[in-house]
């Protein structure tokens, strides 16, 4: 279908839980609505799962792993199914985009791009399913041989956020399925629709019973359901994306049976601009680095470190460039920034803007006075020790901080509890690589931000930004264990 204003204002669809191989209502029969953050209409209705529903989904996944065909399927079978899923996502890209637009306020151009990236992720892990190999130790001693065998880790529980409501689940689901695991997922109550549509696609692609299970719940019940998923002795791995505080709670819950844990948490990434940087490109990209998805991304370049000799000129150009962002109806292809996801997030970001007015000098932006829209907001005159420069805001708010030389830039970048991403801008490859290697973070961009066009590189953080990696070969290894076999040949 084509997305337009009329299509997102209508009463949205109703989704159930997907457990085993069937759509089913929550055991207590309750439901919750997701409100469209742009126009206030009902975007969709969802079954409101209880702890008992979560347990039923876990048991379905456990049975499918222990006795079902999927963990015992051939690499070719897993490849073929994942490729069918990728093709089906591309065929239904407008359905996925419609869910993201209506439920999260994501601009339609970004939503289509996210759905396309999800399809490519399934393609990638379909290929890795075929390419995955163990190893043999054949010549170390003449009378024995050793085998190193990758095996699926088991039942995987996923708790995923609303800001990338399709790609974030897919970067967990696709490698887990490629490895032969079974899955239970609880997406955020703020945008569960894309995963519900994905459940339809997976079932139609022929995924066996119990391999994929979906539970949805509102904010009140979500914590309880998440704790069941993280704490269950029947779950072998839990992967969570969200706040650092909640990530710690997930890890505590997961310790009961020492299950595998992966956490992709918060960030306060430093985007570093040296005096010899390509000026216009650095300005333009610095805006997208903190405004992409309305600033609602954990790897946002929300700290901008600018060398003193160009600081004033750069800040002036930055404020002008911020005005070129288009805030409006997320269903409009011209919109670059939609509303923040809900009233709670809007209030949170607004409080940080008020705080910034006491800590530094606001150059532009702030609440627009219309709905949950926040214009690109830039503060100068801040110390790196300020709350605005140290705390994750999760909105389009940028802290600009000057530095004198390379050593100070690295020290400022590393002066953070987080370590998820970062950027460096310089025409000197020596400077850029020295800085990229010196900043303690999970990924760095050189003369770009968010992407240089290379898909499927590992993503994850250090320090309070989490543990584990998603995407790339490392993303598949997260869902595998290694078994070694030693064979005597002289008996």
- Tell me the CA distances in angstroms from 116 to 86, 370, 425, one per residue in order: 9, 31, 29
Catalytic residue among 16, 103, 114, 264: 264
Q: What is the 3-state secondary structure (H, E, C) of 379-432?
A: EECCCCCCHHHHCCCCCCEEEEEEECCHHHHHHHHHCCCEECCEEEECCCHHHH
298 is catalytic: yes
The C-alpha atoms of residue 167 and residue 177 are separated, in whole angstroms, by 15
Q: Using CA of residue 222, residue 468, residue 348, residue 5, what is the dihedral sign?
A: negative
Cβ atoms of 195 and 213 within 8 Å: the answer is no
> Could you tell me the two tokens for 11?
């009463």
Provide the 8-state DSSP code for 487: E
Q: Which of 461, 359, 430, 436 is nearest to 401 (CA)?
A: 359
Closest CA to 47 of 225, 240, 201, 167: 225
**Strand 144-152 and strand 212-214: pairing?**
unpaired
**Cα angle, residue 168 at apex, residues 162 and 169 outer, rounded to 5°:** 95
Rounded to whole angstroms, how far apart are CA atoms 476 and 179?
A: 7
Of the candidates 392, 434, 435, the one whose C-alpha atom is nearest the C-alpha of residue 412 is 435
At 62, list the tokens: 């456990």
CA separation for the pair 486, 70 (Å, rounded): 27
77 Cβ contact partners less than 8 Å away, ≥ 6 residues apart: none
Distance, in Å, from the CA atom of 461 to the CA atom of 243, rounded to the nearest integer, reads 13
Instruction: Answer yes or no: are the C-beta atoms of 112 and 93 closer than 8 Å.
Output: yes
Distance CA 341, CA 228 (A): 26
Active-site choice (171, 181, 191, 298): 298
Of the candidates 380, 386, 350, the residue with the CA atom closest to the CA atom of residue 363: 380
Instruction: Confirm if 420 and 442 have CB atoms less than 8 A apart.
Output: yes
Residue 191 is among the residues annotated as catalytic for this protein: no
Name 271's bridge partners. Answer: 304, 423
- Mapping DSSP onto H, E and C, the string for 208-238 reads CCCCEEECCCCHHHHHHHHHHHHHCCCCCEE
Which residues are marked as active site? 264, 298
């Amino acid at each position: 279908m084509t997305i337009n204003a009329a299509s997102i204002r209508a009463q949205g669809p109703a989704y159930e839980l997907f457990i085993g191989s069937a759509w089913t209502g929550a055991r207590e029969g309750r439901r919750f609505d997701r409100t469209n953050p742009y126009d206030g209409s009902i975007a969709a209705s969802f079954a409101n799962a209880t702890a008992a529903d979560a347990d039923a989904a876990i048991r379905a996944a456990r049975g499918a792993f222990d006795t079902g065909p999927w963990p015992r399927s051939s690499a070719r079978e897993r490849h073929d199914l994942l490729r069918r899923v990728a093709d089906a996502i591309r065929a239904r890209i407008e359905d996925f985009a419609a869910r993201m637009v209506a439920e999260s306020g994501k601009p339609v151009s970004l939503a289509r791009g996210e759905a396309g990236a999800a399809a490519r992720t399934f393609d990638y892990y379909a290929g890795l399913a075929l390419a995955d190999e163990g190893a043999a130790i054949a010549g170390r001693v003449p009378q024995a041989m050793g085998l190193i065998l990758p095996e699926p880790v088991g039942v995987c529980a996923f708790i995923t956020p609303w800001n990338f409501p399709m790609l974030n689940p897919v970067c967990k689901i696709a490698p887990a399925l490629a490895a032969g695991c079974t899955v239970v997922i609880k997406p955020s109550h703020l945008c569960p629709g894309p995963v519900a549509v994905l459940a339809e696609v997976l079932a139609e692609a022929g995924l066996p019973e119990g391999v994929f299970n979906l539970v949805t719940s509102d904010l009140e019940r979500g914590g309880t359901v998440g704790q069941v998923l993280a704490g269950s002795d029947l779950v072998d791995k839990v992967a969570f994306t969200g706040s650092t505080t909640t990530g710690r709670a997930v890890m505590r819950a997961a310790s009961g049976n020492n299950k595998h844990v992966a956490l992709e948490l918060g960030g306060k990434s430093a985007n570093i601009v040296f005096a010899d940087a390509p000026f216009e490109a650095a300005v333009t990209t610095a805006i997208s680095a903190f405004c992409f998805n309305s600033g609602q991304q954990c790897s946002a370049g929300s700290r901008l470190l600018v060398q003193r000799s160009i600081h004033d000129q750069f800040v002036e150009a930055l404020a002008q460039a911020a005005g070129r962002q288009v805030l409006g109806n997320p269903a409009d292809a011209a919109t670059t920034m939609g509303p923040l996801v809900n009233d709670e997030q809007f209030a949170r970001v607004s409080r940080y803007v008020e705080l910034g007015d006491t800590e530094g000098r606001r150059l532009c932006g702030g609440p627009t006075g219309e709905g949950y829209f926040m214009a690109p907001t830039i503060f100068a005159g801040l110390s790196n020790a300020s709350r605005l420069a140290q705390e994750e805001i999760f909105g389009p708010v940028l802290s600009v901080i000057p530095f004198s030389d390379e050593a100070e830039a690295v020290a400022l970048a590393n002066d953070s509890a987080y370590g998820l991403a970062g950027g460096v801008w310089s025409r000197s490859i020596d400077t850029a690589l020295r800085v990229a290697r010196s900043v303690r973070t999970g990924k760095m961009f050189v003369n770009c931000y968010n992407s240089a066009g290379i898909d499927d590189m590992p993503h994850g953080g250090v320090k309070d930004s989490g543990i584990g990696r998603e995407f790339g070969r490392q993303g598949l290894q997260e869902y595998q264990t290694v078994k070694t076999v030693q064979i005597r040949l002289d008996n």
